């Protein structure tokens, strides 16, 4: 999960949509169509429905449903405690929901994590921080990339998008890995499509380590539509961002989620150890540091502990 960006700028800009995205497969088109679906109603959606409705949450709900449906029996039922699946601070200004589903034995899925956080800012002016994440980690049965998407909204007219097939090898040492999972899949086209949207600029993480971990095709952008740009931001989120995210998820589901790769035992052990090291660092640098800024120590402590079980098995 990413380090929180600064609140959105209030300078006024004119926003418009970029040209239409490239055609996606039938699975991606189906996912894209569902991105305009009705509000959440049941299950985990009930917890999310307690939060103010945002376009980016609707998009992520649809992507999570698509991933869950297509992974099917490869995901075990959730065992997250009720006070992590749906939680809030005593004053009701902070709301959250976390769900973790582990991979079934024999599958290449390690776990699927969804996290939904909302924190109303003090001052009574309606400001808020909203963070939404969908992460699916694979296990040692394959070296294929993980799927990672996060949306961070710090104001009504701007947000940060992080979207990547998260590499599991040091890419300069493995050019074949780049060819197989990034060049051959065409995912870089979606980065270019998003970066063509007016008022999209690169997002630069304050962490040098975090910057070093993304793939060269990662979509890591800051979208700012300026004061009065709420409607334009929603149009962009439900349009190009939703389309590109659905297409990248489709690539991951088709080319990565079910893959099995033959590896020597030492190579597999190194891969799994690298995954765990990065996951541990992510929990320490981001979750442990940032959740206490949104929730009380008691709430953030139990949520971080549950997420840590997924990431590092603790």
Residue 135: the pLDDT is: 96
Residue 20 lies in a domain: no
Q: Give me the torsion for CA of 273, 276, 278, 282, rounded to 10°.
A: -170
Contact 279, 210 (CB under 8 A): no
| Span between the terminal Cα atoms of the chain, in Å | 18
Residue 141 lies in a domain: yes
* Number of domains present in the structure of the chain: 1
Distance, CA of 83 to CA of 129 (rounded, Å): 21
Nearest C-alpha neighbor of 72 from the set 112, 38, 26: 112
23-78 tens-digit pLDDT: 334 444 444 343 333 333 335 789 999 999 999 999 999 999 999 999 999 999 99
Residue 37 lies in a domain: yes
Residue 269 lies in a domain: no
Nearest C-alpha neighbor of 111 from the set 262, 268, 276, 290: 276
pTM of the model: 0.85
Q: What is the CATH number of the domain that holds 173?
A: 3.40.1500.20
More confident residue, 187 or 42: 187
Orientation angle between helical segments 55-71 and 26-34, nearest 10 degrees = 140
Residue 34 belongs to what domain range? 26-263
Q: Is the pLDDT of residue 14 over 90?
A: no
């Amino acid at each position: 999960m990413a380090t929180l960006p600064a609140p959105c700028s209030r300078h006024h800009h004119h926003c418009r949509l970029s040209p239409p995205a490239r055609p996606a497969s039938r699975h991606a088109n189906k996912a894209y169509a569902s991105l305009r679906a009705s509000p959440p109603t049941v299950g985990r959606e009930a917890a999310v429905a307690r939060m103010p409705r945002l376009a980016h949450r609707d998009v992520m709900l649809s992507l999570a449903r698509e991933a869950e449906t297509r992974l099917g029996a490869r995901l075990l039922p959730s065992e997250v405690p009720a006070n992590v699946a749906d939680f809030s601070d005593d004053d009701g200004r902070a709301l959250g929901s976390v769900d973790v589903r582990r991979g079934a034995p024999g599958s290449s899925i390690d776990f699927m994590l969804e996290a939904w956080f909302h924190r109303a800012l003090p001052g009574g002016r309606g400001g808020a921080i909203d963070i939404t994440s969908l992460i699916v980690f694979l296990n040692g049965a394959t070296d294929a990339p993980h799927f990672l998407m996060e949306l961070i909204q710090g104001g009504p007219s701007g947000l940060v998008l992080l979207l990547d097939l998260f590499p599991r090898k040091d890419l300069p040492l493995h050019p074949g890995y780049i060819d197989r999972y990034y060049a051959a899949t065409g995912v870089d086209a979606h980065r270019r499509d998003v970066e063509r949207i007016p008022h999209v600029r690169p997002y630069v993480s304050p962490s040098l380590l975090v910057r070093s971990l993304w793939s060269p095709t990662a979509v890591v952008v800051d979208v700012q539509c300026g004061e009065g740009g709420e409607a334009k931001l929603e149009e962009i989120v439900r349009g190009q961002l939703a389309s590109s995210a659905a297409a990248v998820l489709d690539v991951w589901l088709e080319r990565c989620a079910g893959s099995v790769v033959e590896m020597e035992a030492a190579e597999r052990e190194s891969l799994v150890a690298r995954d765990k090291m990065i996951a541990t660092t992510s929990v320490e640098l981001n979750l442990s540091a940032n959740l206490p800024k949104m929730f009380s120590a008691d709430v953030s402590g139990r949520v971080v502990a549950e997420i840590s079980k997924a990431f590092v098995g603790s």
